[in-house]
Amino acid sequence: MLHIENASFAGKKVLVRVDFNVPLNEQYQVSDDTRIRATIPSIQKIIAGGGAVILMSHLGRPKGGPEAKYSLKHIVPVLEHLIGRQVLFAGDCIGETAKHAASNLKSGEILLLENLRFHPEEEKGDVEFARQLSVLGDIYMNDAFGTAHRAHASTAVIAQFFPENKLFGYVMQGEINAIDKVLLQPERPFTAIMGGAKVSSKISIIENVLDKVDHLIIGGGMMFTFVRALGGQTGSSLVEEDRLDLALQLIEMARQKGVQLHIPTDTIAADAFNEKANTQVCAVGNIPDGWMGLDIGPASIAQFSNVITASRTILWNGPMGVFEMEKFSGGTRALGEAIVKATNSGAYSLVGGGDSVAAVNKFGIAEAVSYVSTGGGALLEYMEGIELPGVKAIRG
């Protein structure tokens, strides 16, 4: 396996799997270029080393063939602006169109291939499709952590055609290093913060981190399943009735492993799920009928903030409340600020999962934590201890 820092790109065509699956507005303009910006250092490294860059990605979920709204040509203007040079575009990712464009590519040039998912073979992990992609380049670089959990042709299968010439880009390497630093070599105390709506979507992660952390903070909608399991009155709050036994098992598992489990003691309750609702602070286990908890309360914020600021490693996955509504954003904002304070004092903080990333961006603290993962589903699976196909394919 090559490493991006010492690989030789001179005179080589580098086939790079990127994650340009970005949101577009109604005019097909990129509305969030975070994932594109993340890949620029890898592209620049190849060009600086005398190589040519062939980029491939998917965009959206086209239904079995080309669809104009999912064409990667919409990405070209943004990519050109960010990289500061011309980006060539091929109207297909395989076949004569792609081969012709790739064969004429000179060192220092960038070529973007059309959407991989315009061919159903991509998602099927088709070996012949992967081979047709592989003939376009001399070196294969995977820099798409967001799709590393998919065993697709361009993310996992293709690597077999580059036995000596495959490597991770900076995005992939950075993600893996950050998660490994947290899960494999944490400085203690190590605190994990788990939020979001449902316990069911976080079971495997919670079970995996209970073997590693000193403190586990529970927040978001999932906290009410724990509260109800412990006999609390949760009003109209979100509760997974079929997961009460599971919540009790997780509480017992934490006790057996010596992990301090922190469940909120108070909540901001509302009489409706909207910004104009009436609110009150009440104990999590004493929410009146017709009221629902939509954020953690001030006592919980104070307690959790103390745990966080005393930590040396912090993993944050999931908000504390309905942070999209200003009225219920206080808990998520406060814990974000506590994470920043801990980070400034030398702690290592990893933020991952779509809602957590949205929260740190909303509150303007993304630059103040150690690492913000672009991974989404890939991050969650990696945190669950699952070996990702896209990672395994490079590591061999």
Distances (CA, A) of 125 to 92, 130, 391: 18, 8, 15
Distances (CA, A) of 169 to 4, 44, 143, 391: 6, 11, 5, 11
**Catalytic residue list contains 354:** yes
Nearest to 282 by CA among 216, 237, 225, 343: 237
Cβ neighbours of residue 317 under 8 Å, at least 6 residues apart?
Answer: 192, 193, 194, 195, 196, 202, 205, 351, 352, 353, 356, 379, 380, 383
| DSSP tag of 234 | E
CA 70 to chain centre: 22
Residue 382 one-letter amino acid: Y
Instruction: Give the active site residue among 198, 327, 341, 362.
Output: 198
Residue 201 CB-density burial (10 A; 0-12 exposed, 13-18 middle, 19+ buried): middle
**Catalytic residue list contains 346:** no
Residue pair 314/178 in contact by the 8 Å Cβ criterion: no
Residue with tokens 């906290």: 223
**Catalytic residue list contains 377:** yes
Instruction: Give the active site residue among 131, 312, 354, 362.
Output: 354
Run of H or E residues at 343:
helix 330-344
Residue pair 122/75 in contact by the 8 Å Cβ criterion: no
* Cα–Cα distance measured from residue 125 to residue 138, given in angstroms and rounded to the nearest whole number: 21
Instruction: Give the active site residue among 17, 35, 202, 228.
Output: 35
* Cα–Cα distance measured from residue 14 to residue 161, given in angstroms and rounded to the nearest whole number: 13
Give backbone dihedrals phi and psi of 168, rounded to 5 degrees, phi first. -90, 145
Run of H or E residues at 223:
helix 223-229
Cβ neighbours of residue 254 under 8 Å, at least 6 residues apart?
Answer: 210, 216, 260, 261
Longest Cα–Cα distance in the chain: 70
**Catalytic residue list contains 293:** no
* Cα–Cα distance measured from residue 319 to residue 335, given in angstroms and rounded to the nearest whole number: 9
Positions annotated as catalytic residues are 35, 198, 354, 377
